[in-house]
Amino acid sequence: MGTIYSDLLSAKAKKQKQLAVLLDPDKIDWEHTEHLIRKIKQSPATHIFVGGSLLLTNVLDQLVALLKQQLDLPILLFPGNVSQITPRADGILFLSLLSGRNPDYLIGQQVLAAPILQQTSLEIISTAYILIESGKQTTVSYVSNTLPIPADKPEIVLATALAGTMIGHKLVYLEAGSGAERKVDPETIRLIASNIQVPLIVGGGIRSRSAMEEAYEAGADLVVIGTAFEKDNNFFDYKKA
Ligand code: 1GP
């Protein structure tokens, strides 16, 4: 078992909540990377996720190299597709979009990625990725050409998460979508957390400290913050108080 995953398991066992800052390579302000790195260092982040639904720029390698050089946190790829792989990261969330019925995001991209990943030493962490409806259509729903699970159908989310763990996925990720209007309902988080043994990741539309705490209290083991930190690099400053 890889180090990143075994650390996630031991953090879960000790009820130590984890926090990932999601960086989208397309949205990095290259004039101010020193500031970005300083703010990440000052934050409670335990992991860095790198990725996005699109990759319009050619800076993934450069960004991951910078993060590896400057930060002492595990850098995990969170790829929107097979083009978002670099051997410079520490690991990859090997996602299957189980909420959707598009074979390309269930197995197609993974087949294309596997021979590339075999040539790297990236830690590969198989992840049941579950998109939940959250207001207006999200980029991930549009780009993946899949429907999210209706937010008022937690039983479908649960059945999907259970299927994911039975298939053998090592993480479950409940995703509202980046910049979502509505985050994942804490009751849905609670239901899933109480029925699975693997670590539970929750992200999408979490824009406040209280929303983070709510997700943790409901049973999220790791919360992902993307847009809120991207829009305001001081988002985590409460930690200094
Ligand atoms: C998206 O879960 C992540 O994949 C983070 O979402 O950008 O809304 O924080 P936000």
State in Å: Cα 178 to ligand 1 middle: 4
Compute the distance between CA of residue 24 and CA of residue 20 in angstroms, rounded to an integer. 13
Confidence of residue 239 (pLDDT cuts 50, 70, 90): low
The predicted model scores a pTM of 0.97
3-class SS letters over 116-153 = HHHCCCCEEEEEEEEEECCCCCCHHHHHHCCCCECCCC
**Lowest-confidence range among 32-36, 49-53, 117-121, 221-225?**
49-53
pLDDT digits (tens, 9 = 90+) for 172-216: 999 999 999 999 999 999 999 999 999 999 999 999 999 999 999
For residue 42, which of 65, 26, 19 has the smallest C-alpha distance? 19
* Other Cβ atoms within 10 Å of 178 Cβ, number: 19
Judged against a pLDDT cut of 90, whether residue 165 lies above it is answered with: yes
Q: Cβ(79) to ligand 1 under 6 A?
A: no
Cβ of residue 175 lying under 6 Å from some atom of ligand 1: yes
| 175: enclosing H helix or E strand | strand 171-175
Q: How far apart are CA 217 and CA 103, in angstroms?
A: 34
Phi, psi dihedral angles at 130 (to 5 degrees)? -125, 115
pLDDT score of 240 more than 90: no
pLDDT digits (tens, 9 = 90+) for 33-79: 999 999 999 999 999 999 987 877 789 999 999 999 999 999 999 99
pLDDT at 109: 97
| Ligand-binding site membership of 173 (annotated) | yes
pLDDT band at 110 (very low <50, low <70, confident <90, very high): very high
- How many CB atoms neighbour CB 10 within 10 A? 10
Structure ipTM over 0.90, yes or no:
yes
Stretch 90-104: mean pLDDT, rounded?
A: 98
Pick the CATH number of 3-231 from 1.25.10.10, 3.30.43.10, 3.20.20.390, 3.40.50.300: 3.20.20.390
Between these two residues, 128 and 240, which has the higher pLDDT value? 128
- From first CA to last CA, the distance across the chain in angstroms is 37
- Whether 185 has a binding-site annotation, put simply, is no
Predicted pLDDT at 54:
81
Please state the rounded mean pLDDT for residues 109-127: 98
Give the nearest ligand 1 atom to 203 CA.
Answer: 2
